[in-house]
Structure 1
Amino acid sequence: MPSYQAPVRDTRFVINELLELSSYADLPGFEMVTPDLVNTLVEEAGKFTSEVLAPLNQISDREGCTRHPDGTVTTPSGFKEAYSQFREAGWGAISMPAEYGGQGLPHTFGFVMEEFIDSANIGFGLFPLLAAGAVSALYAAGSEEQKQTYLPKLVSGEWLGTMNLTEPHCGTDLGLIRTKAEPQSDGSYAITGTKIFISSGEHDLTDNIVHLVLAKTPGAPEGTKGISLFVVPKVQVNPDGSLGEPNGVSCGALEEKMGLHGSATCVMNYDEAKGWIVGEENRGLAAMFVMMNAARLGVGIQGLGVAEVAYQNAVTYARERRQGRALTGPKEPAEPADPIIVHPDVRRMLMDAKALTEGLRALALWSGLLVDLAHSAKTDEERQVADDLVGLLTPVVKGYTTDKAFEITVNMQQVFGGHGYIKEWGMEQFVRDARIPMIYEGTNGIQAMDLCGRKLALHGGRAVQAFFKLVDDEVAAAKDDPQVGDIAMRLAKAAGEQKAATMWFLQNAMTNPDNMGAGAHPYLHIMGIVSVGLMWLRMARVAARKLAEGREDSAFYEAKLTTARYFAERMTPEAGALRREIETGCEAMMALQPEQFERS
């Protein structure tokens, strides 16, 4: 049976020593942040997820969710009790708005909790993740009445929420949606249509579920310009806040999925369900994007979470499993064989996983800090830079992280050899669960096109130029340091490959947009390499400084420096190959006629 221990020490390092979150104490939302608070929250979150959620993971995979003839859905054994503990402890409210009952702490803390939950039990993690997205959308675009009606219950976790976008005939192309919203005399709308792939669409964890639904009003413009957003509760809410009559919304079916069995993925039927418009008519996609962007960062963290737990179990197995002898001679001559962790190819897989999980954790938590600085930084310029970087990094955190997380998880299964293919060891579940984050909340191909087709050119390239300046400045500050200079120069070379690829797009995408499309995915990975490389340069500088101070836990910092060197030496060179791939253009990729793909 697999095990999980939250990476408390590494998380504390990122928050306290890398990001230095307590140094922002003069900004709104950071007033209470101290190293002691960080340590307490991280340790307690680790205990809850490791002790309460992780033991339910294999159970939930075996049982899944169950839909009953009346359309109700029950979650796997233990989920209701675990959710009650989660809600009562206030874990879901850590980064929620204080004015609606949340703790109002920085998003970084919420991201920590998301990672720990997703490592312990990703199926469970879908339930609060979507509720947090609903809070973001209503907080940004809802009326005051809607906020007062829904936010206190969503923030407290008494109710959960969903986002309803996809329909049977359309996925990402939301301009094709057919769900209708007919205006009613009382100011509400009658919502009719079918939505699919709705995570947490129906369940038994809360008495009410707040659905945010995209639909079109009569006479709305064609395409995405005619989409409106509606709040549609499962149970109607009376003026005094109590629950009233059931609404015209039901779960028509549960999807049978490859993985993520603990999550209720529903087909939702709306039969003149009563809903209320959120924000302006025909402006629903802009409001929903607030929720989608939050969810995309959350999905990136999901990938990280599964990769982390797979890595932990592979390390344990590699240290215990004995087979063969080290190439340089027996490491444990008294034993019949050495543990497989002595073999370079096993080390390759483990070091790749260690370098990526720790680097991606730093990237995700830095992104959480940027989310807060976009709202709370002291100057307009600082807020703009933070907001630009969040927008630029969101498809990278979602796309690159989940691509690499699946690769890590498959490799960690490989460490187990044949045992990795056997259910009882748990690795095959991690592989199945790690597959979906690459797909939902916009496939990673769409993330790549969002990055290259929208984010690079936005505001005249302001965001990517700010990113390049950030990398250049940090390289310049570190290049002459004997401890980290080589790491800095290797990062500079990878950043140079990204700059060259960016320039190639500017020169070639206008003449043929398919050149952009053909190069988008490798470009996403170049930026992922540079972004994680930046995190490793920062972490290496912190580790070198701590070692110079003579810290007692020197082994931790020595491992950081070694892993930073490994990433710089083994992973940053990939940027050059990816840039050359981009520069081949689209000609061969797009040359065949559709019928030429068929086998004769």
Structure 2
Amino acid sequence: MPQFTPPVRDTRFVLDHVVGLQNHANVEGFAAATPDVVDAVLEEGGRFVAEVLFPLNLSGDQEGCTRNADGSVTTPAGFKEAYAKFVESGWGTLSAPEAFGGQGMPHVVSTAFQEYMISANMAFAMYPGLAHGAIAALLVKGSPEQQAKYLPNMISGAWGGTMNLTEPQCGTDLGLIKTKAEPQADGSYAITGTKIFISAGEHDLTENIIHLVLAKTPGAPDSSKGISLFVVPKILVNEDGSLGARNGVSCGSIEHKMGIHANSTCVMNYDGATGWLVGKEMKGLAAMFIMMNAARLGVGLQGLAVGETAYQNAVHYAQDRRQGRALTGPAEPGEKADTLFVHPDVRRMLMDAKAWTEGLRALCLWGALQVDLEHAAADEGERQLAADLIGLLTPVIKGVGTDKGYEIATNAQQVYGGHGYIAEWGMEQYVRDARIAMIYEGTNGVQAMDLVGRKLAQNGGRAVQAFFKLVGDEIAAAKGNDAVAEFAGRLEKALGDLQGATMWFMANGMQNPNNVGAGAYSYMHLLGIVATGLMWLRMATAAAALKAAGEGDAVFLDAKLVTARYFAERVMPDTGALRRKIEGGADAIMALPPEMFMAA
């Protein structure tokens, strides 16, 4: 059976030495995030997910969700009770505004808890996770009346929330949506259409579900410029806040999926459902991106979180399983065979997983800090820098985070050999669950195109230039530190590859846009290696300093330094190959006629 231990010590190390939580006490919400409070969140939150949510992960996957004859959906056994405990304990309110019943903690602290929750039970975590995206949009674009009406119950967890974007004929290209919104005399709209792939679209965990739905009003342009956003509750809410009549929205079916079986992914039918405009008419795209950016960072976290659990189980298996002998001779002559840990190729897979999970944890938490600073830093320049950095890195966190999470899960399965392919060991579930994260909220190819097609050129390249300066400055400082000078030198070379690839795009993208499209995916991963390398430089610098001062757990610090060395020697050299792929251009990719792809 699988097992999971929340990585509290590693999280604490990152918050202290990469995020620098203690350095931001002047930012709104951070003063309350004292070391004692944060430790309590990590320890108690970790205990909650390990004891309440993790035991339901395997059984929930096996049972799945059930759509009943009346269109309602029943979640797997134990989910409703676990969700009630989640709400009662207030875990969903950590970073929500105090004005609507939240605890007002920094987003970075709630992100740490969310990682643990996803690791313990990804399908369960999606129920409150989708509500957070809807909450984010209403906080920015909702009217004061809408915020007062919906947010307190959504934040408390009494009500759920969803994002309804995709339709059968359109996914990424939302300009193709057909859902209609007809204005009514009372100021509401009648929403009619079908949405697909709606995570947590219908379930029995909450008494109401607040859907945010993209639709087009009469006469709106037949493109993305004609999109508006509407709030459509499953059950209408009376003026006094009580629940009224059932709205004209229902679950037509549950999608039959490869993974995340315990989350109800629904086809949603809107039959003249009553909804209200959120923000301005035909300005739904801006509101949508608020939801999407929040969701994309959350999906990147899913890649890390599922990879972490798969990695932990592979380590335990490698410690216990005996097969063969070490290449240098028997490691344990008294035993008939050595453990899997003696084999370099097994260690390769485990070290890849360790280097990427710890690096991505730092990147995700540092990214969450940028979200906090973007909204709450006292200095306008600091807010702008944070917005630029997280805007640039959101597609990287989503795309690279989920690619690597899936790779870690499949390699963890590989460590098990044949047992990894057998359901009772639990590893194949992690592979199945991790796979969706590469697809939804914008496929990773779409993330790559968002990065190179939009983010690089925005504001004259201000964000990427700020990133180059940040990394370059930290490299320059580290080169004077003997403990990390070699790592800094390798990161400098990787940064040079990134800068060179960026210049190549500038020189070759205008004359042939396919050059940008052909190199986008490689560029996303190149930037991901450099960004994660920056996190490892910070972790290695801190570990070396603590060790020199005789502080901290020496074994833990030594492991950090060795893993940083592994990342430098075995991961960062990939930037050279990625740059050469980018500079190969688009000719070979675009040359073959479509009919030749099936040539016998």
Taking structure 1 as the reference length, the TM-score comes to 0.99
What is the aligned partner in structure 1 of residue 110 from structure 2?
110
What is the aligned partner in structure 2 of residue 353 from structure 1?
353
The whole-number CA distance in structure 1 between the counterparts of 2:12 and 2:380 is: 30
Q: Which amino acid aligns with 1:472?
A: G
Deviations 1:148-183 (A, max 9, x none): 000001110000100000000111100000000000
Alignment of 1:374-523 (within 5 A): 374-523=374-523
**Does structure 2 conserve the Cα–Cα contact (< 8 Å) formed by 1:168 and 1:195?**
yes
Gaps (5+ residues) in structure 2? none
Q: Which amino acid aligns with 2:137?
A: A
**Aligned-pair CA distance for 1:480:** 2.3
What is the aligned partner in structure 1 of residue 160 from structure 2?
160
**Aligned-pair CA distance for 1:25:** 1.1
The whole-number CA distance in structure 2 between the counterparts of 1:537 and 1:333 is: 40
**Aligned-pair CA distance for 1:598:** 2.1
Deviations 1:454-476 (A, max 9, x none): 00000000000000000000000
**Aligned-pair CA distance for 1:552:** 4.6
**Aligned-pair CA distance for 1:587:** 0.5
Q: Which amino acid aligns with 1:257?
A: K
**Aligned-pair CA distance for 1:594:** 1.4
The whole-number CA distance in structure 2 between the counterparts of 1:376 and 1:269 is: 39
The whole-number CA distance in structure 1 between the counterparts of 2:552 and 2:202 is: 51
**Secondary structure at 2:5 match in 1:** coil
**Aligned-pair CA distance for 1:599:** 3.9
**Does structure 2 conserve the Cα–Cα contact (< 8 Å) formed by 1:293 and 1:394?**
yes
Deviating more after overlay: 17-26 vs 180-189: 17-26
Alignment of 1:549-588 (within 5 A): 549-588=549-588
Deviations 1:3-55 (A, max 9, x none): 11100110111112332212211211111111111111101111011111111
What is the aligned partner in structure 1 of residue 266 from structure 2?
266
Q: Which amino acid aligns with 1:122?
A: M
Q: 1:552 to 1:10 in 2, by over 3 A?
A: closer
What is the aligned partner in structure 2 of residue 284 from structure 1?
284
Q: Which amino acid aligns with 1:466?
A: A
The answer to whether the aligner puts 1:591 opposite 2:591 as a matched pair is yes
**Secondary structure at 1:194 match in 2:** strand
What is the aligned partner in structure 1 of residue 47 from structure 2?
47
The whole-number CA distance in structure 1 between the counterparts of 2:108 and 2:330 is: 45
What is the aligned partner in structure 2 of residue 90 from structure 1?
90
**Secondary structure at 2:337 match in 1:** coil
The whole-number CA distance in structure 2 between the counterparts of 1:259 and 1:103 is: 33
Q: Which amino acid aligns with 2:88?
A: E
**Aligned-pair CA distance for 1:554:** 0.8
Deviating more after overlay: 128-137 vs 323-332: 323-332
Alignment of 1:245-394 (within 5 A): 245-394=245-394
The whole-number CA distance in structure 1 between the counterparts of 2:29 and 2:440 is: 31
Taking structure 2 as the reference length, the TM-score comes to 0.99
The whole-number CA distance in structure 1 between the counterparts of 2:309 and 2:599 is: 41
**Secondary structure at 1:138 match in 2:** helix
What is the aligned partner in structure 1 of residue 226 from structure 2?
226
Q: Which amino acid aligns with 2:471?
A: V
**Secondary structure at 1:454 match in 2:** helix
What is the aligned partner in structure 2 of residue 145 from structure 1?
145
The whole-number CA distance in structure 1 between the counterparts of 2:438 and 2:394 is: 14
**Does structure 2 conserve the Cα–Cα contact (< 8 Å) formed by 1:324 and 1:337?**
yes
**Does structure 1 conserve the Cα–Cα contact (< 8 Å) formed by 2:546 and 2:552?**
no
What is the aligned partner in structure 1 of residue 235 from structure 2?
235
**Does structure 2 conserve the Cα–Cα contact (< 8 Å) formed by 1:16 and 1:38?**
no
The whole-number CA distance in structure 1 between the counterparts of 2:301 and 2:120 is: 13
What is the aligned partner in structure 1 of residue 540 from structure 2?
540
**Secondary structure at 1:167 match in 2:** coil
The whole-number CA distance in structure 2 between the counterparts of 1:54 and 1:187 is: 45
Q: Which amino acid aligns with 1:89?
A: S
The whole-number CA distance in structure 2 between the counterparts of 1:106 and 1:298 is: 15
What is the aligned partner in structure 2 of residue 197 from structure 1?
197
**Does structure 1 conserve the Cα–Cα contact (< 8 Å) formed by 2:18 and 2:366?**
no
Deviations 1:432-471 (A, max 9, x none): 0010000000000000000000000000000000000000
What is the aligned partner in structure 1 of residue 69 from structure 2?
69
The whole-number CA distance in structure 2 between the counterparts of 1:104 and 1:291 is: 20
The whole-number CA distance in structure 1 between the counterparts of 2:118 and 2:204 is: 20
Deviations 1:110-151 (A, max 9, x none): 211211111111000110111011110000000010000000
Deviating more after overlay: 59-68 vs 110-119: 110-119
**Aligned-pair CA distance for 1:551:** 1.8
**Does structure 2 conserve the Cα–Cα contact (< 8 Å) formed by 1:399 and 1:438?**
yes
What is the aligned partner in structure 1 of residue 181 from structure 2?
181
**Does structure 2 conserve the Cα–Cα contact (< 8 Å) formed by 1:15 and 1:38?**
no
**Secondary structure at 2:245 match in 1:** strand
Q: Which amino acid aligns with 2:102?
A: G
Gaps (5+ residues) in structure 1? none
The whole-number CA distance in structure 2 between the counterparts of 1:252 and 1:540 is: 52
Q: Which amino acid aligns with 1:147?
A: Q
The whole-number CA distance in structure 2 between the counterparts of 1:402 and 1:229 is: 28
**Secondary structure at 1:277 match in 2:** strand
The whole-number CA distance in structure 2 between the counterparts of 1:187 and 1:18 is: 49
**Secondary structure at 2:167 match in 1:** coil
**Aligned-pair CA distance for 1:237:** 0.3
**Secondary structure at 2:551 match in 1:** coil
The whole-number CA distance in structure 1 between the counterparts of 2:423 and 2:181 is: 46
The whole-number CA distance in structure 1 between the counterparts of 2:546 and 2:159 is: 45
Deviations 1:387-423 (A, max 9, x none): 0001001000000010011111100100001110011
**Secondary structure at 1:596 match in 2:** helix
Q: 1:552 to 1:175 in 2, by over 3 A?
A: closer
The whole-number CA distance in structure 2 between the counterparts of 1:49 and 1:16 is: 23
**Secondary structure at 2:169 match in 1:** coil
Q: Which amino acid aligns with 1:79?
A: F
The whole-number CA distance in structure 2 between the counterparts of 1:588 and 1:594 is: 13
**Aligned-pair CA distance for 1:334:** 1.3
Deviations 1:217-269 (A, max 9, x none): 00001200000000000000000000000000000000000011011000000
**Aligned-pair CA distance for 1:378:** 2.0
The whole-number CA distance in structure 2 between the counterparts of 1:18 and 1:384 is: 20
The whole-number CA distance in structure 2 between the counterparts of 1:449 and 1:98 is: 37
What's the Cα RMSD here?
Answer: 0.7
The whole-number CA distance in structure 1 between the counterparts of 2:545 and 2:551 is: 10
**Does structure 1 conserve the Cα–Cα contact (< 8 Å) formed by 2:176 and 2:223?**
yes
**Does structure 2 conserve the Cα–Cα contact (< 8 Å) formed by 1:200 and 1:266?**
yes
**Does structure 2 conserve the Cα–Cα contact (< 8 Å) formed by 1:16 and 1:35?**
no
